Amino acid sequence: MANYSHAADNILQNLSPLTAFLKLTSLGFIIGVSVVGNLLISILLVKDKTLHRAPYYFLLDLCCSDILRSAICFPFVFNSVKNGSTWTYGTLTCKVIAFLGVLSCFHTAFMLFCISYDETDL
């Protein structure tokens, strides 16, 4: 199986410090907004008794899943970018993080389907 990551190492490690700073700042902003925003929506859904219905339970599940993805997967990507876009955690960790990312995407698609299919009105 061909692995092209070694061919791209020179290109990725020669990026300017400004580019690396902008990437890290953007990733940090995405992580922070994702965790805080989904946490606030989750608190609202739990506290407001009028939102204790099926579509909002699906939305709460979606928020919790997004918080976990942001708190588990994104820091590995952040640290990888910080290290010059090289993966330093080993093959097994790479496979586990990739699996969690794909699982999260399919879970998100399924929850959005459940929210849209639910016959009760929001």
- In the chain, which residues have pLDDT < 70? 1-15, 118-122
99-108's contacts with Cβ under 8 Å and 24+ in sequence apart are 100/69, 100/72, 100/73, 101/69, 101/73, 104/65, 104/66, 104/68, 104/69, 104/73, 107/65, 108/62, 108/65, 108/66
Instruction: Give per-residue pLDDT as tens, 39-58.
Output: 999 999 999 999 998 888 98
